[in-house]
Amino acid sequence: MILFRLDNKEIMILKLMKTIIVLLIAFPGSVVAEDEDSYNSLLFGISPHLAKQQQAQWLPLIRHIEKQTNYPLRLQISPAIPVFENRLFTGKFDLAYINPKLFIESNRYVGYQPVVKEGQKTLKAIIVVAKDSPYQTLKDLKGVRFTSPENAFAASVLSRLNLYAQGINIIHSHVKTAAEGYARVANGSADAVGGVQQTFDLLPAEIKNSLKILWTSEGVAPYAFVIHPRVNSTVRQRIVEAILDFKDTPEGIAFFNKLKMNPFVSAKNNDWDDIRQLTGQ
């Protein structure tokens, strides 16, 4: 079994998360009633690593769910990722769209259940180095200065997990964005960076032409659309049906085209067993 090595910052966050869960169990707060008519509104959370403009583009889906189910939804935009994760792990969200790592953890500690995922989609990490660097294989990266965007599952977790699995130790640091990481490799302040193909393709030509993709991972399960266990089965089923039907509407077609996403398909818990195996959970 491969165990993922955490940075000190990540270890502190995990300890804090476990403390929060213990307190929730010891001092439970209010719970939404099982009577479906008692739902005044449902809170929908999306990770703030998505640009605010992109978050706003989710509004057509929210309106569609509301129209099809008669349950009001509120999109809550968190000001920072730690705030979003605190809300997730304290069960504030009734619905959320989250990366595989957050799903595995929130499913384990809070009980969030996956209902849909992006169809025909897998997440892949890349590791990028300078084009004129001597690095030819992953093993050449032993001891290098490696950076990755914080709170990015594919770019940060997948890339490092594969390095550690091969016994390749690195000097790791986080950057706020993928673009900053690529820039550090281009200017020589880092030797390698974890990323994804989409962010690499968006680089300005002058930076992109100075870099090369050294390695690409195998694909793993994508983001999960999850629902809190307090949401009863009738409400959950109506929401799932609305989400799956969205692709057949003019608004849905525009939504998926604009976000460059495939339509959602039904999901089950074991769809993310590959992530559990990779992270040793």
Residue pair 14/108 in contact (Cβ under 8 Å)? The answer is no
In angstroms, the Cα distances linking 123 to 82, 191, 196, 221 are 23, 23, 8, 6
**Residue the block writes with tokens 């660097």:** 133
Which domains, ranges and CATH numbers included, belong to the chain?
Answer: 8-121+221-279 (3.40.190.10), 126-216 (3.40.190.10)
> Chain-centre distance of CA 97, in angstroms?
8
Q: Which residue has the higher pLDDT, 56 or 85?
A: 85
| pLDDT tens-digit readout, 196-240 | 998 999 999 999 999 999 999 989 889 999 999 999 999 999 999
Whole-number percent of the chain with pLDDT over 70: 85
| pLDDT tens-digit readout, 112-155 | 999 999 998 899 999 999 999 999 999 999 999 999 998 788 99
| pLDDT tens-digit readout, 89-118 | 999 999 999 989 899 999 999 999 999 999
Q: Compute the distance between CA of residue 7 and CA of residue 12 in angstroms, rounded to an integer.
A: 9
Q: Which of 198, 194, 188, 136 is nearest to 164 (CA)?
A: 194
Indicate if the pLDDT at residue 8 is higher than 70.
Answer: no
Indicate if the pLDDT at residue 9 is higher than 60.
Answer: no
Helix (H, G, I), strand (E, B) or coil at 184: helix
Q: Which residues contact 96 (CB under 8 A, 6 or more apart)?
A: 44, 45, 46, 88, 106, 112, 225, 226
pTM: 0.75
Q: Compute the distance between CA of residue 36 and CA of residue 149 in angstroms, rounded to an integer.
A: 41
Q: Which residues contact 39 (CB under 8 A, 6 or more apart)?
A: 32, 71, 235
CB atoms within 10 A of CB 191: 20
- Find the mean pLDDT for residues 6-30: 48
Lowest average pLDDT, out of 151-165, 198-212, 243-257, goes to 151-165
